């Protein structure tokens, strides 16, 4: 899907680009109501009403799409009816009509078109959109929506344009290279979908103006260095000043950058063969 760049009729339009969704939408087919969910907004607050995530609130009302990340209808062929926009994710979703009459939404692979047929099976051909266990996928094949544990549903490579590369299948385990560069082991009985995730142009979209961020549910964020010393550790000073301390801090004085959050002796360390590159 390509990007659309508008004529610079206003300062906001001058630096705005959007994904051209016109080709993706098929208005003749309507998504079943049972696959749409009205989700209440939290505005970054917990069950006590306290703000736990700052700079969130407002935004346009969204209907969440209930996407099937397991695809457990084995050996039942399905036809693609739509490739449509989903407000809850960066990738597109597709409506599948199975031969037994059931309809489900899935993550749309890049290159999937209306009218294509897809299949979830151990003997399915290596074709974009088909879902197979890792043990049946040749090395070097790009896959997405990969299970981390057998039967747990897709967890890896679900963002727009991403994919996981199958590097080797060694009996009960398979070696995967993740989008971050990390190389790890996964059970060969985990399922994965062939191809890259759709909408790879999403990473090149320019927001262009503050209003689009507000519609997405983001509120303004003030720099700490623009505040007074009483309000933030970075505040104070005359003119434009750097942070001027050993390390950046949060408004409450804690380390803000470069803090390791991964727990020691994490259970998944034994499956990671190579860490993602730093920086």
Whether the pLDDT of residue 27 is over 70: the answer is no
Q: Which residue has the higher pLDDT, 220 or 264?
A: 220
Cβ-Cβ contacts under 8 Å for 61 (sequence gap 6 or more): 38
Q: Of 103, 112, 120, nearest to 84 (Cα)?
A: 112
Report CA 139 to chain centroid distance, whole Å: 24
DSSP codes, 58-87:
-----EEE-B-SS---TT--EEEEEEE--T
pTM for the predicted model, two decimal places: 0.86
Highest CATH level, class, for 3-203: mainly beta
The C-alpha atoms of residue 11 and residue 150 are separated, in whole angstroms, by 51
CA distance 193 to 126: 9
Give the residues across from 63 on adjacent strands.
Answer: 38
Supply 261's token pair. Answer: 């959050």
Residue with tokens 């503050």, as numbered in its chain:
210
Give the model's pLDDT for residue 244.
83
Above 90 in pLDDT, residue 245?
A: no
Distance CA 97, CA 53 (A): 39
- Cα–Cα distance between 131 and 152 in angstroms, integer? 14
| pLDDT tens per residue, range 128-142 | 999 999 999 999 999
Nearest residue to 93 via CA among 44, 7, 15, 25: 25
- Please state, for a pLDDT cut of 90, what percent of the chain lies above it: 63
Q: Answer whether CATH 2.40.30.10 is correct for domain 228-279.
A: no
What confidence score (pLDDT) does residue 265 get?
81
Q: Residue 242 above 70 pLDDT?
A: yes
pLDDT given for residue 266 in this prediction: 84
Residue ranges covered by each domain of the chain: 3-203, 228-279
pLDDT score for 279: 63
Q: pLDDT by residue (tens digit) across 162-172? A: 999 999 998 89
Mean pLDDT value of segment 70-78? 91
Contacts of 50 (CB under 8 A, 6+ apart): none
**pLDDT of 26 above 70:** no
Burial 244-259 (b: 16+ CB within 10 A, else e): eeeeebeeeeeebeee
| pLDDT tens digit sequence for 170-222 | 889 999 999 999 999 999 999 999 999 999 989 999 999 999 999 999 999 99
- CA-CA distance, 137 to 59, in Å (whole number)? 42
């Amino acid at each position: 899907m390509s990007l659309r760049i508008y004529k610079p009729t206003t300062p906001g339009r001058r630096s705005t680009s959007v994904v051209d969704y016109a080709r993706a939408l098929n208005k003749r087919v309507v998504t079943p109501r049972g696959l749409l969910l009205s989700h209440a907004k939290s505005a970054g607050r917990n069950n006590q009403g306290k703000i736990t995530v700052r700079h969130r609130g407002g935004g346009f009302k969204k209907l969440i799409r209930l996407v099937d990340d397991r695809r457990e209808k084995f050996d039942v062929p399905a036809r693609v009816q739509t490739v449509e926009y989903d407000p809850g994710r960066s990738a597109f979703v597709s409506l599948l009509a199975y031969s037994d009459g059931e309809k489900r939404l899935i993550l749309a692979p890049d290159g999937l078109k209306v009218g294509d047929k897809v299949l979830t099976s151990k003997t399915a051909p290596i074709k974009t959109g088909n879902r197979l266990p890792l043990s049946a996928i040749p090395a070097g094949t790009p896959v997405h929506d990969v299970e981390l544990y057998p039967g747990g549903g897709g967890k890896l490579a679900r963002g727009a344009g991403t994919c996981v590369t199958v590097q080797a299948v060694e009996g009960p385990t398979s070696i995967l290279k993740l989008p971050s560069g990390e190389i790890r082991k996964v059970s060969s009985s985990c399922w994965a979908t062939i191809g890259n995730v759709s909408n790879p142009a999403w990473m090149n979209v320019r927001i262009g103006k503050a209003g689009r961020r507000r519609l997405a549910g983001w509120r303004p964020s003030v720099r700490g260095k623009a505040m007074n010393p009483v309000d933030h550790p970075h505040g104070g000073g005359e003119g434009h000043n750097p942070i001027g301390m050993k390390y950046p801090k949060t408004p409450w004085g804690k380390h803000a950058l470069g803090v390791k959050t991964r727990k020691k002796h994490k259970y998944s360390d034994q499956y990671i063969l190579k860490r993602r590159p730093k920086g």
